[in-house]
């Protein structure tokens, strides 16, 4: 509750480490960092909605219909995706 009070009036918040609180909250789009195919498959079951995957493991070959972005090489693509989402919601 304290965090939410501090964020009133803010258009965009990046959270890390709150998966139990926001995992199924569909008002909170997620970019999920994964280290393995197993983590990616678990994320699909546990997190809604997932905008994209990032992390050490590329999910491109898993046919999950969720894009994968290498955060180091494709940071601009991630920014563009987030900007588009914000524009759609405003």
> Which alpha helices (DSSP H) does the chain contain, by range?
2-6, 19-22, 37-46, 75-89
Q: What is the mean pLDDT of residues 61-83?
A: 93
Counting the structural domains of the chain, the total is 1
Half-sphere exposure of 6 (CA within 13 A, CB side): 4
pLDDT score of 17? 83
pLDDT score of 19? 83
Confidence of residue 80 (pLDDT cuts 50, 70, 90): very high
Q: What is the mean pLDDT of residues 15-38?
A: 90
Range of the domain at 82: 2-89
């Amino acid at each position: 509750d304290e965090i939410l009070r501090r964020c009133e009036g803010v258009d965009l918040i990046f959270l890390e480490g709150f998966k139990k609180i926001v995992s199924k909250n569909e008002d909170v789009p997620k970019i999920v960092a994964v280290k393995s195919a197993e983590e990616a498959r678990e994320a699909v079951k546990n997190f809604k909605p997932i905008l994209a995957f990032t992390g050490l493991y590329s999910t491109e070959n898993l046919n999950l219909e969720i894009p994968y972005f290498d955060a180091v090489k494709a940071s601009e693509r991630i920014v563009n995706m987030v900007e588009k989402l914000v524009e759609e919601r405003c």
